[in-house]
């Protein structure tokens, strides 16, 4: 179990830019997190950004460069390990599994919470 949490943290932690969920996608061992990442990718995200919330094990994930505007590319997602807690009155639960609880914050609250909006990429 600790190995699975460690795997998730290594893959998503830090101010890392994740590869999209295409051919180079590495599973996090979390059905919930993998599902969200695959959906973000499939919805037109070209660059996924993640960072660990300071003082917690919670990971904040959002689409940094997007081709399309939709909830998968505009919402902010939080992956909270089952042993940790996370509090944000604007967050809604989306899924959970034995490793993580996932929540999301809608785009209108994005601008209230010190995050920059994602950029849109053209089809050139």
| Token pair belonging to 66 | 């997007």
Using one digit for the tens of pLDDT, what is the confidence trace for 54-92? 999 999 999 999 988 999 999 999 999 998 888 889 999
Q: Which residues of 45-72 are buried (b: 16+ CB within 10 A; e: fewer)?
A: bbebbbebeeeebbbbbbbbbbeeeeeb
**Domain locations in the chain as residue ranges:** 2-120
pTM: 0.71
């Amino acid at each position: 179990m600790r190995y699975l949490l460690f795997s998730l943290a290594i893959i998503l932690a830090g101010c890392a830019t994740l590869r999209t969920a295409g051919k180079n996608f590495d599973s996090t061992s979390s059905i919930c997190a993998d599902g969200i990442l695959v959906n973000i990718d499939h919805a037109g995200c070209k660059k996924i950004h993640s960072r660990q919330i300071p003082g917690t094990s919670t990971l904040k994930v959002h689409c940094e460069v997007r081709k399309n505007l939709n909830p998968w590319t505009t919402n902010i997602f939080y992956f909270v390990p089952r042993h940790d807690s996370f509090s944000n009155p604007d967050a809604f639960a989306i899924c959970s599994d034995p490793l993580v609880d996932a929540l999301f914050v809608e785009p209108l609250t994005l601008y209230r919470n010190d995050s920059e909006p994602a950029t849109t990429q053209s089809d050139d």
